[in-house]
Amino acid sequence: MEDEEGVTANRVSIALIAVGSALIVAALTLMALVATDVIDNGGSGNSDLETVTGFGEPISPPTPGPSPTPSNRFPPGSGAPIARLRIPSVDIDAPVVIRGLDSERRMTTPDNAYDTAWYDFTARPGSDTDGGGVPYGNAVFAGHVDWHDVGKAVFWNLKDLNEGDTIEVQMEDGSVYRYAVNSKIQYDASTAPVDAIVGPTPEQMITLITCSGTFSNATHQYDKRLVIRALRVS
């Protein structure tokens, strides 16, 4: 009888071990499925093709800006197309596409989460003129802060920039122009001084714009804009 009881006890132990192993496998499988789902979804960003990264208000026709003075004049730029925008301190390294104004003179928008846009009615980086050769000094870029089904987009980390941080613009011929952050301001999108933000300046500088504040599901727009400005450095 003792032998039979021992055999029975062993069988029960083996059965319990098998059940426990099955539960562990099931739990690991569920964890893997959940992790895969999170990776595939990538987050829950709001921006999409309808979201304006710059400003939705009409912009006045560009006019020649003040001529640079000897103290802030740099050697002529290479004239090569713009390749990438890099901000090492916040891990931004992104391709640049060219955008402009639509038929109602509103800033057009990058069509994905990864590109930054340079606006061709503003200054060319490394130059004292805009894309058409008009004297100018303010190169304006914009990018999304997030993106539907992607999550964090190219300018998500822009809010973490500090005064003095370096921004680099690389041209297709390898030339690199560097700028140092000197201001970070959040504006109400509906009342921001748009023409002053994207208008000409006497110094070579760049202006970076992205969305901030609260997103409206009704309008597909954020109610604030974060504006970073940086002056060119040697």
pLDDT, one tens digit per residue, over 163-186 is 999 999 999 999 999 999 999 999
Q: Are 146 and 46 in contact (CB under 8 A)?
A: yes
The per-residue pLDDT for 131 is 67
Burial (Cβ within 10 Å: 0-12, 13-18, ≥19) of residue 225: buried
Q: Kindly report, residue by residue over 23-69, the tens digit of the pLDDT.
A: 444 433 333 333 322 222 234 578 988 899 999 888 887 677 666 66
The per-residue pLDDT for 41 is 27
Provide the whole-model pTM: 0.78
Domain covering 70-233 in this structure, CATH number: 2.40.260.10
Segment 86-112 shows an average pLDDT of 95
Percent with pLDDT over 90 in the chain? 56
Segment 103-116 shows an average pLDDT of 94
Domain map (residue ranges) of the chain = 1-41, 70-233
